[in-house]
Amino acid sequence: MSSPLLQTRALQTGYQAGGKRTVTTKGPLTLEVHPGQLVCLLGPNGAGKSTLLRTIAGLQPPLAGTIEINGQDVRQLSPVQRARTVSLVLTDKVSTHHLDVYSLVALGRYPWSSWLGGIGDKDRAAIEWAIDSAGIRSFLDRKINTLSDGEHQKIMLARALAQDTPLLDAGRTYRTS
């Protein structure tokens, strides 16, 4: 079997409540996810699913334990390195009144864009592929604030697909590196 794409050891997740009290949501958790595996995370509201995903993505620190992506400690990865490795779709809504659907999907290419934020032909191809894969072409010209919750989730999925990362791998790559 191949090396794990994601590996946790004795991982405990949680957050600070009121700045003083630590709330532990899950752990200790030890797991391995290998390339090509599909993992489903189920649980009731408030069980810590989103907290676990945010922690794995490096958006919040673990309370204890380690997280490795491709053998590297997630805490040692720069934000761009994390964004090139992990795509994350949560239920949080993007609140903007002026951004259109295409622009939000295109933001998924940020980790691969130039320092000026420019996108090239490969980026446009990735965006178009993500739009078609998520089935959102019919509302590309709409503003984000006009979307239903379900439509918004489809847009966020398309953005994550356009990001083209090994975790949430869409099975296609447009990177040259």
pLDDT at 1: 66
Q: How confident is the model at residue 76 (pLDDT cuts 50, 70, 90)?
A: very high
Q: Does position 48 have pLDDT exceeding 90, yes or no? A: no
Domain boundary, last residue among 24, 43, 77? 77
Across 95-113, b (16+ Cβ under 10 Å) vs e yields eeeeebbbebbbebbbbbe
User: Are residues 17 and 65 both part of a single domain?
Assistant: yes
Q: Does position 85 have pLDDT exceeding 60, yes or no? A: yes
Any domain includes 33: yes
Q: In 3-state terms, what secondary structure has residue 38?
A: coil
Packing angle, helices 121-134 and 149-163, rounded to 10: 140
d(CA 36, CA 50): 22
Any domain includes 120: yes
Any domain includes 67: yes
User: Are residues 158 and 115 both part of a single domain?
Assistant: yes
Mean pLDDT score of the chain: 85
Q: Does position 177 have pLDDT exceeding 70, yes or no? A: no
The range of the structural domain enclosing residue 49 comes to 6-77
Q: Does position 47 have pLDDT exceeding 80, yes or no? A: yes
Any domain includes 13: yes
User: Are residues 70 and 105 both part of a single domain?
Assistant: no
User: Are residues 45 and 108 both part of a single domain?
Assistant: no
Please tell me the total count of domains within the chain.
Answer: 2
pLDDT at 172: 41
Domain boundary, last residue among 42, 77, 112? 77
Domain boundary, last residue among 77, 92, 116? 77
